Amino acid sequence: MDLLHTFEEDAFRDEARAWLAEHVPARPLPSLETREGFAAHRAWEARLHADRWSVVSWPREYGGRGVDIFKWLVFEEEYFAAGAPGRVSQNGINLLAPTLFDHATAEQRARVLPPMASGEVIWAQAWSEPESGSDLASLRSRAVRTDGGWLLSGQKTWSSRAAFADRAFGIFRTDPKAPKPHQGLTYLMFDLRADGVTIRPIGRLDGKPAFAEIFLDEVFVPDEDVVGEPGQGWRIAMSTTGNERGLTLRSPGRFLAAAQRLVQLWRTSGDPADTALRDRVADAVVGARAYQLFTYANASRFAAGSVIGAEASLNKVFWSDYDIALHETALDLLGADGELAQGEWAEGHVFSLAGPIYAGTNEIQRDIIAERLLGLPKGRR
């Protein structure tokens, strides 16, 4: 891996930095977990898209710039360093889109990707079910064959963005007689405003309502919205989860920027005599830098033609635990009122607490690391 940036990468960084300096809102947008904030962030996605900054690594025909993964990492570093808004479209562009590039038809990519890039269509991930979270293969929501498509029935839960999003993607049981739970599943996209869909928001710890349950009562989905072959949904879903835990969901730029803000907080609020807290600030900076280097190493392997397999679980465990430690350090710096204050650190702390749970619990990820990377015996389930 060559850690020196090329002239083209430096020029791309300068261009991105200049655009962000001119266009990032002077005041933070309302939380995207509220209706008002969701609309404001959708408008921000459209502004990014107008100058081809919303999906820089996508081919130009879908609204991107066609840059490689290293320039994508450069853009992410500049994006978060500029304090730009969170991405309301991340379920689509970071999870569904890579899956479509790998498994969808040309017609599906041409139909689905451009409105995703512009923010016209925002996607929710309809993954977990009431008794199928980490053990996703035990899901019970079904899709039954009908003329020209499928009828979806069942319940999905903990669906981020679902309260305000336009469409969703998930896997459904299409062959209940399949010999194993992860067989006989099909990957489908569906309209959250279709007949038979009921959305019920789930109140979060911070009171914001964007999480939701999705109830499906014979919701019609045309054949054109099946991704891959019917019955092959598990294999395709693993492609989605690999991206979720691996390179795209939590780029190092996010943590590099947060660690720098933590340093600034230490300089304004830290007690020089509190060396233990000072060391935690230093650990946060070291951790962000280590994650950056590990990500660049994975990117180099990816660019050379390798795939990111079980190593994605290393990423997921690291960034989810790191995010909590970073925010707890910030709250300790802020003192007794830290958790009560309304601001980025308190809100970020609440969000970080979910990290070890979503995208596959850390307990499951540690099993994967132990069994697939270290070759240790399987534990009791």
Q: Where are the alpha helices (DSSP H) in the chain?
A: 7-23, 35-50, 69-81, 90, 97-103, 106-118, 233-245, 252-269, 275-303, 311-334, 344-352, 362-368
- Closest among 290, 282, 284 to 314, alpha carbons compared: 290
Q: Name the strand (E) or helix (H) holding 199.
A: strand 197-201
User: Of 244, 328, 339, 363, which residue is the catalytic one?
Assistant: 244
- Tell me which residue of 251, 246, 267 sits closest to 330, measured CA to CA: 267
φ, ψ for residue 203, nearest 5 deg? -65, 130
Distance in angstroms (rounded) separating the CA atoms of residues 191 and 168? 6
Annotation says 244 is catalytic:
yes
CA dihedral angle for residue 86, residue 90, residue 94, residue 99, rounded to 10 degrees: 180
List active site positions.
Answer: 244
